[in-house]
Structure 1
Amino acid sequence: MLQFLKYLLFPFSLLYKGITSLRNLLFDIKILPSFEPPLPTIGVGNLTVGGTGKTPIIDYLISILSKQKIGVISRGYGRKTKGYISIDTNTSPEKVGDEPFMLSRMNPEANFFVCENRVVGYSKAVNAVKDLEIVLFDDVFQHRYIKPKLNLLLCDYNRPFYDDYVLPTGMLRESRYGAKRADIVIVTKCPEAISGTQKNEIRGKIAPYCSKNIPIYFASFKSQIPNNSENTLLDPHSKVVLISGLANNSGFRKGLEKDFNILKHFEFKDHHNFKKSELQLIISEFTDYNFVCSEKDFVKIKPLLSSLELPKFFVSRQKVELFEEESFKKLILAVL
C-alpha cells in the first residue's frame, strides 16, 4: 500500500523537483540575487525535511568558536511573532521559537537573533552588535538570498539524502544535486562504533552529488545522563515517563531506552506548544515516577510546572562527538 502511494505521488514529486530546480538555476545564473556578507559566516542546513541535528551542530560550532564574538541567526520556526527580534532575557519560546530560545540559554556569551529574511536579519544584527566577528545561520541551505562563506550540509545516517526522494514521495526539500552547494558534509547520528569501511561506503554514495573532493565528516549524538533543576542525575535503570515534541521522537526514545525502564512515551509533533492542562493530566497519571524530556521541550514545559513538579522533570541533553575533530576544527577556523 505504501509503495503504491509513492507511485501515486511521484508525478507531484517531479513537479516539485522542477520548481525547486528552476529556482536554484535562477540563483546559479544570478537572475535572483545572493548577498555575500563581508563578515565570516557559516550556514548549517540540510536537504531533508525533519531533524538532521542542526541545533546540536550549531551548539557544537559555538563551543569551538567560543573565543570569537558570535552571532546566530535563525528563522525562529514555530514562533508566534514575525520579523526581526534580538533575543534577550525578556524573550520567550513563543516569541522567538523553542530552538533559538534554548540555544540562547545554553550559550549566554553568544548573540542570538531571529528573522525569516536572513539578509535583513544579518544587516540588523551587525548594526545591533558592532563587534561581531562571525555569524552562524541556522537552517539556511535553501534560503539562497544569502550566501555564507561556508555551507555545512547535514545528512542523517539513518535517513541519507542519497536514498531519498523529493517531496511528497520522499522527504527531500529539493533534488539530491542541491548537495553541490555544500562546502562540508557532516553525516550525523552515526553509531559510535561506525567502521572505516562504513564511512568510505557512505562517502562513495555522497560524492556523486557533491563538488569534487568535498570534506565529509561523521558525528554521533550521545545522550547525556538526564538531570533536573536541582542538578540531580537520574538513576540508571529507573522507571521513567518520556515526553517529547521532536521531529524524531523515536530517536529520542532510542537514545534512552538502553539505560532506563521506559513506562510510557508521550509523543507530540515537532515544536509542540505544551499546555498546562495536558501536563497536569500526564503528571496525575504517573505521580510516583520521574519524567524525561529534551532540552528543547523543557524550555516550554518549565514555566508550566509548580515548584513541587519541577524536580520530577529530568532533561536529556545531547553531546556531539565528531570523528576527526581536529581536522574539522582547522577547516572551520580557516573561515576566520
Structure 2
Amino acid sequence: MYVCNIEPSKPFMIQFLKYLLFPFSLIYKGITSLRNLLFELKVLRTFEPNIATIGVGNLTVGGTGKTPIIDYLISIFPSNKIGIISRGYGRKTQGFLQINSKSTSKDVGDEPFMLYSKNLDTSFFVSEDRVEGFKKAMLIQPNLDIILFDDVFQHRYLKPKINILLSDYSRPFFEDFLLPTGLLRESKSGAKRADIIIVTKCPRHISEIERRLLTDRIKKYTKKDTPIYFAVFQSLPPSNIENAILTKKSKIVLISGLANNLGFKAGLEQNFEIVKHFDYKDHHEFTKEEITEILSLFPNSNFVCTAKDFVKIKPLLNPEFLPSFYISEQKIRIINEIELKKEIFEQLGFIN
C-alpha cells in the first residue's frame, strides 16, 4: 500500500539544507505563479493547433515515464499519421530538426532517437520552441493528423487539445515542494490545467482501495471532472539484437544513465545476479573510452542497459560485442485501459 514518505526518516543535514533553501522556493513560486497568471489573463497568448494534439508532461523535475507514455500513445493510433515533437533534451544541436536515418542521439537527443528507432512509420521532430516546431512540422508534412508533444506542460505558449499530466507513484506531486527545496517546477495547483492524469510506475498489484486514496489526494488540486488513471510499468525479459532472451539468475553487468538508476537496478536484481552497476547521470553521453574500459574489466560478460542508453552505446561497440548487450524494456499496463482510450478519443473529437 502507498505510504507517505516525507520527512522523519531523512538525514538531518538534508532537512537543514531544505530549510535554508525554502526562501528561494517562495521566490520561485512568485515568479512561476505570476507567469501562469499572465497566461490566465491572456496577457501572454497561447497558440492552439488546428489538428488533434496531445501534450504529455509533469509538474516535477526528473523521470515520471513520459517517454514510455508517448510510446504507448503512438500504439493506440495505428491508423493515423502521427508526428512527435520533443525538445530533444541533451542534444548538441539547436533549433528545429526532423529526425531521419542519418540522425544520431547527439543530434536529436537520446529519448527522441530511441523512439524513432522503434517507430519508423512515425514522424519525429525536435524543437525547443514547440509552437515553431508544430508550424514547421506541418509545412514539411501537412498530412499529419495527430501531433504528440513531449514534456510540454509548462510550455504554455502552446495549448494542446489534451494535456496529460503524469505523476510518479513513488514521489507524487502532492507531497513535493517547489524548486529548489523540492522538485516541483510550479505550484501543485498547476494540476488544474490537466485534462487527464496518469499515476505512473505503480506496483503490479496496486489495490482498488489504494487507487481511491491516491485519487482523493490528487483531486484536491485538479478540476472536479478530471479523470485519473494508473499505469503499471512491467519490465520485459532483457533481449539482445539477435532476440535471444537473457536467462534468469544470470550474472550481469548493468550500465545506466537514468533519472532513477536505483529503480532500474531494483527492477532487475530480483531475477539476475548483478556483478557491477555502472551508473551515470540522466542523458549521459557515453564515450568510446568508457565502454572500452567496462568491456576490459568484465570480459565475456552479459551487459544490460535500457533502450535509451543502448542507442548511444551501440555506435561505440565493435560488431562482435553487440550480442553481449541485452536491452531491458518496459511494457505499460493501464488499469481501466478501455476507459482511458475512450476518454482520449472523445476529447479529441474522434467519437461522439
Q: Which amino acid aligns with 2:36?
A: N
| Structure 2 unaligned regions, length at least 5 | 1-12
Counterparts of 1:1-336 in structure 2, within 5 Å, are 1-334=13-346, 335=348, 336=350
Q: Which segment drifts farther, 185-194 or 247-256? A: 247-256
Give the 3-state SS of the residue equivalent to 1:55 in structure 2. Answer: helix
Distance in 2 separating the partners of 1:69 and 1:332: 16
Give the 3-state SS of the residue equivalent to 1:34 in structure 2. Answer: coil
Distance in 2 separating the partners of 1:2 and 1:113: 40
Give the 3-state SS of the residue equivalent to 2:299 in structure 1. Answer: coil
Aligned length: 336
Q: Which amino acid aligns with 1:266?
A: F
Per-residue deviation, 1:78: 0.3
The CA RMSD measured in Å over matched residues stands at 0.6
Distance in 2 separating the partners of 1:220 and 1:253: 17
Give the 3-state SS of the residue equivalent to 2:275 in structure 1. Answer: strand
Q: Which amino acid aligns with 1:314?
A: Y
TM-score relative to the length of structure 2: 0.95
Give the 3-state SS of the residue equivalent to 1:68 in structure 2. Answer: coil
Per-residue deviation, 1:2: 1.1
Q: Kindly indicate whether the alpha-carbon contact (under 8 Å) linking 1:222 and 1:255 is maintained by their aligned counterparts in 2.
A: no
Distance in 1 separating the partners of 2:264 and 2:120: 26
After the TM superposition, which segments of 4 or more aligned residues of structure 1 sit over 6 Å from their partners? none
Q: Which amino acid aligns with 1:141?
A: F
Distance in 2 separating the partners of 1:135 and 1:255: 32
Q: Indicate the percent of aligned positions where both proteins have the same amino acid.
A: 60
TM-score relative to the length of structure 1: 0.99
Distance in 2 separating the partners of 1:130 and 1:146: 19
Q: Kindly indicate whether the alpha-carbon contact (under 8 Å) linking 1:237 and 1:260 is maintained by their aligned counterparts in 2.
A: yes
